Structure 1
Amino acid sequence: MPKRTDIKKILIIGSGPIVIGQACEFDYSGTQACKALREEGYEIVLVNSNPATIMTDPEMADKTYIEPIIPEVVEKII
């Protein structure tokens, strides 16, 4: 699939708080998505309500919001 040149910025919504034992898979996949998209040159904006994840590391996204993942908050970020 060719890279879309009309898209410059991508919003990634994290999984938020999750059950112990399930965090690894969600955090890993989100982190890999951030890395892959940044390598392609996209600006990454991340929203996640769980600060205890690798995804919220400052190196993962261009802008990170540690906020509740509810429509009102995500709408304000957009």
Structure 2
Amino acid sequence: MPKRDDITSVLVIGSGPIVIGQACEFDYSGTQACRVLREEGVRVILVNSNPATIMTDPDFADATYIEPITPAVIETIIAKEKPDAILPTLGGQTALNAAMALHEQGILEKY
């Protein structure tokens, strides 16, 4: 798949706190995705409410926000950082729900 030159920054939405039986696999896959995106020259902006996750290590993102994963918080980050794309699929149901709410509220269209 060819690299898209129009995407220079990506907002990665993490999974939040690890719950038994859920989210640790998202932490691993999210960390690997952040690493690869940065290797490809993409600016990675990460939001995750779990400060204990490896994803929040400064080596994996150019900007890290340890904030609640809510549409309001994510909108504030989008307004400030102006990412070219959003990657919620690495954050499990929490991130997917937040991304769907952003879409339904018209926030993605706004920015």
TM-score range, shorter chain: over 0.9
- Which residue of structure 1 lines up, in the alignment, with residue 9 of structure 2? 9
The one-letter code matched in structure 2 to 1:40 is E
- Which residue of structure 1 lines up, in the alignment, with residue 55 of structure 2? 55
Query: How many percent identity over aligned positions?
Result: 77
Please state how far the C-alpha of 1:26 moved relative to its aligned partner: 1.4
More helix by proportion, 1 or 2? 2
TM-score norm. by structure 2 comes to 0.67
Please state how far the C-alpha of 1:20 moved relative to its aligned partner: 3.0
TM-score norm. by structure 1 comes to 0.94
User: Does residue 70 of structure 1 match 2:54?
Assistant: no
Q: Distance in 1 between matches of 2:60 and 2:20?
A: 22
Please state how far the C-alpha of 1:17 moved relative to its aligned partner: 1.2
- Which residue of structure 1 lines up, in the alignment, with residue 86 of structure 2? none
Matches within 5 A, 1:5-44: 5-44=5-44
More strand by proportion, 1 or 2? 1
Number of matched pairs:
78
Please state how far the C-alpha of 1:23 moved relative to its aligned partner: 4.0
Greater mean deviation of Cα atoms: 15-24 or 60-69 = 15-24
Q: Distance in 1 between matches of 2:43 and 2:37?
A: 8
Greater mean deviation of Cα atoms: 19-28 or 29-38 = 19-28
Structure 1 unaligned blocks of 5 or more? none
Structure 2 unaligned blocks of 5 or more? 79-111
